[in-house]
């Protein structure tokens, strides 16, 4: 199984009703020892940071054309805790509710679960970007995408 590192970040430019964007970097080493990288970034208008964090992970996982052993590193504790602390299982068991409130972005959580399905994923959280230049790079991609006018579209990614 191919080992893949994915780094992600989302940006809503500090405004939940303002422009948002995501950035992701996918890295793997082939059998000859050559390192391959692919950058992904897209922008979207009027969204939230959490939504962009989900989109970054979805875009990166959907770009993989075969099951992989993935280490996904994000500065979103919300995204990582959903997987590492069993939040998703609780939400699904409760009909996609958190207490009495409906979980936000259910469509994206379902899409993320589908994208994650064939892979073995280790979810890692990094606080900010300290010491993680790849996540800083993703932050720059996400911010540039948020400042752009590109819209997220399905099936825009080429397979690795």
Rounded CA-CA distance 7/74 in Å is 6
Buried b (16+ CB within 10 A) or exposed e, 129-146: beebebbbbbbebbbebb
5 is catalytic: no
Q: Which of 129, 132, 136, 148 is catalytic?
A: 129
Q: Which of 5, 9, 62, 134 is catalytic?
A: 9
139 is catalytic: yes
Rounded CA-CA distance 64/57 in Å is 11
Q: Which of 21, 43, 53, 62 is catalytic?
A: 53
Residue with tokens 């075969």: 66
9 is catalytic: yes
150 is catalytic: no
Task: Please answer whether residues 124 and 12 qualify as being in contact, where contact means their C-beta atoms are separated by less than 8 angstroms.
Answer: no
Q: Which of 5, 75, 119, 134 is catalytic?
A: 75
23 is catalytic: no
Any idea what DSSP says for residue 29?
E
Q: Which of 5, 62, 134, 139 is catalytic?
A: 139
Task: Please answer whether residues 73 and 5 qualify as being in contact, where contact means their C-beta atoms are separated by less than 8 angstroms.
Answer: yes
131 is catalytic: no
Q: Which of 5, 10, 20, 43 is catalytic?
A: 10
Q: Which residues are catalytic?
A: 9-10, 53, 75, 129, 139
């Amino acid at each position: 199984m191919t080992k893949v590192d994915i780094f992600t970040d989302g940006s809503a430019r500090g405004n939940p009703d303002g422009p948002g964007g995501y950035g992701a970097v996918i890295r793997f080493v082939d059998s000859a020892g050559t390192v391959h990288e692919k950058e992904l970034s897209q922008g979207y208008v009027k969204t939230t940071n959490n939504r962009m964090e989900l989109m970054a992970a979805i875009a990166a996982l959907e770009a993989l054309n075969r099951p992989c052993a993935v280490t996904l590193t994000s500065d979103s504790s919300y995204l990582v805790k959903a997987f590492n602390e069993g939040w998703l299982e609780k939400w699904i068991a409760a009909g996609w509710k958190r207490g009495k409130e409906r979980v936000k972005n259910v469509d994206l959580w379902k899409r993320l679960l589908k994208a994650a399905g064939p892979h073995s994923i280790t979810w890692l959280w990094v606080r900010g970007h300290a010491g993680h230049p790849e996540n800083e790079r993703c932050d720059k991609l996400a911010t540039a995408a948020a400042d752009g006018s590109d819209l997220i579209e399905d099936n825009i990614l080429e397979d690795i």
